[in-house]
Amino acid sequence: MKAVVRFPRKDILNGKISQQMLLFLFPVFLGYLVQQLYGIVDSIVLGRLISKQALAAVGGSANSLINIILNFIGGITSAITVLVAQNYGRGNMEKVNQSAKTGVFLSIVLGLGISIALILIAPFWLDLMKEPADTRPLSLTYLYFYLASLSFYFVYQTGVCILRALGDSRRPLLFIGLTAVVKISLDLLFAGVFRLGVFGTSLATFLSHAICAFIILFIFDKTSDVYQRDFKDLSYNKEDVKKIFAIGLPFAVQSMMFAIPNAMIQFKINSFETDAVAAYSAYNSVDALFWCFSNALTTATITMASQNFGRGNLKRVRRTVLVSVFIDTVGAVCFGALFYFFGKHILTLFLKDPEPLSIATRMLKVIAFSYITYAPIDPLSAVFKSCGLTRAPLIIAVFTICLTRISYILFYPIADPVQAIFAFPLSWIITSAVYAVYYFSRKDIFRKNENNA
Mind spelling out the 3-state secondary structure of 369-408? CCHHHHCCHHHHHHHHHHCCCCHHHHHHHHHHHHHHHHHH
Q: Is the pLDDT of residue 450 over 60?
A: no
Nearest to 383 by CA among 73, 81, 74, 18: 81
Element (H, E) at 242: helix 238-270
Q: How far apart are CA 315 and CA 164, in angstroms?
A: 22
Question: pLDDT band at 7, cuts 50/70/90?
Answer: very low
Nearest to 193 by CA among 204, 208, 177: 204
Q: Which long-range contacts (CB under 8 A, 24 or more apart) does 131-134 make?
A: 131/60, 131/61, 131/270, 132/56, 132/270, 132/273, 132/274, 132/277, 134/53, 134/274
Question: pLDDT band at 2, cuts 50/70/90?
Answer: very low
Q: What is the pLDDT of residue 78?
A: 84
| Residue 418 identity (one-letter amino acid) | V
Q: How far apart are CA 276 and CA 278, in angstroms?
A: 5
Q: What is the pLDDT of residue 452?
A: 40
What's the mean per-residue pLDDT of the chain? Answer: 84
Q: What is the CB-side half-sphere exposure of residue 259 using CA atoms within 13 A?
A: 21
51 secondary structure, DSSP code: -
Q: Is the pLDDT of residue 210 over 50?
A: yes
Pair 309, 318: CB distance under 8 Å: no
Q: What is the pLDDT of residue 48?
A: 65
Q: What percent of the chain has pLDDT over 70?
A: 91
Q: How far apart are CA 29 and CA 378, in angstroms?
A: 14
Q: What is the pLDDT of residue 443?
A: 66
Nearest to 118 by CA among 167, 157, 69: 69
> Higher confidence at residue 55 or residue 424?
424
Please state the rounded mean pLDDT for residues 236-253.
87
- Model confidence pLDDT, tens digit, residues 169-200: 778 888 778 877 888 888 788 877 887 878 88
b (16+ CB within 10 A) / e for 258-295: bbbbbbbbbbbbbebebbbbbbbbbbbbbbbbbbbbbb
Pair 173, 152: CB distance under 8 Å: no
- Model confidence pLDDT, tens digit, residues 94-148: 888 888 889 999 999 999 999 999 999 999 998 888 887 878 888 899 899 999 9
Please, which residues have CB within 8 angstroms of residue 37's CB and are 6 or more apart in sequence? 180, 184
